[in-house]
Amino acid sequence: ATERTLSIIKPDAVAKNVIGQIYARFEAAGLKVIAARMQHLSQREAEAFYAVHKERPFFKDLVGFMVSGPVMIQVLEGEGAIAKNRELMGATDPKKADKGTIRADFADSIDANAVHGSDAPETAAAEVAFFFPGLAIYSR
Ligand code: CMP
């Protein structure tokens, strides 16, 4: 089915000037960028976005990293977009990411791991609505 997923190009990849290279991978895989915005997240926004991880030991470092520079936020649409984007990204820890994935090629560490992508239909809907509330209203 056609799906939408929320993608974030994180501060490390924005600083490396590889937004275009990452977008090219989305496009080559048949994912269409249907909404996008560059934004420097506030502490509050980053904490709210990652609220599900609030109790995890890495939460503070994760939020600190996400507010360290601008990010590029986009909604990707396409057939099986959620799983397709996760395949393109590779494993969360770049050391475990398959060759040729975005994280294998552009990420440095588990925090500076280049990209975020929604992991399931429910989180995709919530994450798209978090950053692009208008889109959620008109989806499907
Ligand atoms: P992301 O897909 O953005 O979702 C949560 C982020 O927390 C994850 O990518 C990693 O960058 C970061 N993180 C740091 N440590 C861990 C860990 N042990 N397990 C999962 N995510 C982690």
User: What ipTM was estimated for this complex?
Assistant: 0.96
| Distance of CA 138 from the midpoint of ligand 1 (Å) | 30
For residue 5, give the 3-state DSSP assignment: strand
Contacts 24+ apart (CB under 8 A), 39-42: 39/70, 39/71, 39/73, 40/67, 40/69, 40/70, 40/71, 41/66, 41/67, 41/71, 42/67
Instruction: Tell me the pLDDT tens digit for each residue of 119-130.
Output: 999 999 999 999
List the catalytic residue out of 4, 25, 84, 116. 116
Mean predicted lDDT score pLDDT of the chain: 96
Q: Is 73 in the pocket of ligand 1 (CB under 6 A)?
A: no
Q: How confident is the model at residue 139 (pLDDT cuts 50, 70, 90)?
A: very low
pLDDT given at position 136: 61
Q: Which atom of ligand 1 is nearest to the CA of 8?
A: 3
Do 5 and 128 meet the contact criterion of CB atoms below 8 Å apart? yes
The model carries a pTM of 0.96
Residue 40 annotated in active site? no
pLDDT given at position 134: 85
